[in-house]
Amino acid sequence: VTPQRRAIFQALLEDDSAHPTAEEIFDQVQDGMPDMSLATVYNTLHELVDMDLLLELDLGPGGRHYDVNTADHAHLVCMGCGRVEDVDYDPSTVVLSPEHVQDFQIVERMAIFRGYCSVCISQGKGPNGVS
């Protein structure tokens, strides 16, 4: 384990959102390791993903997020503030038709629920809000 890898993993564990982007991790590791470049952060994140220690999430606009929770779970994504929350999810409840299972080798499954969090709704940002 390289010091870079350890610093990045630590930053992931300490991140409040638990789903930081590479840029957010970069900002955080700057305190302890000011020499680390954004390219190193990207490379290290990809190594950790390859080692199955990290999930890379494409949650739509705003860049990829990284998740230390590698168990099957779904995400709630707030369209107002971008907050990402983990929710329990049973992948066996989502079933593909037999011809798809035959023709397609599944590598990962993802479920994303988009909407507005209570904070955003209280600020009038929801789908019925005045924004």
Site for Zn ion, rule CB under 5 A: 67, 69, 78, 80-81, 83, 86, 117, 120
> In this structure, are strands 74-78 and 84-87 parallel, antiparallel, or unpaired?
antiparallel
Closest approach of Cβ 47 to Zn ion, in Å?
19
Which residues, at least 6 apart from 64, have a Cβ–Cβ distance to it below 8 Å? 21, 22, 56, 57, 58
Beta carbon nearer to Zn ion, 38 or 112:
112
How far is it, in rounded angstroms, from Cα 126 to Cα 87? 20
Closest approach of Cβ 67 to Zn ion, in Å?
4
How far is it, in rounded angstroms, from Cα 39 to Cα 89? 33
Beta carbon nearer to Zn ion, 87 or 96:
87
The candidate with the shortest Cα–Cα distance to 85, out of 48, 50, 111, 51, is 111
Beta carbon nearer to Zn ion, 4 or 28:
28
Closest approach of Cβ 38 to Zn ion, in Å?
23
Beta carbon nearer to Zn ion, 81 or 101:
81
Closest approach of Cβ 121 to Zn ion, in Å?
8
Q: Please state the three-class secondary structure of 67-78 as a single string.
A: ECCCCCCEEEEE
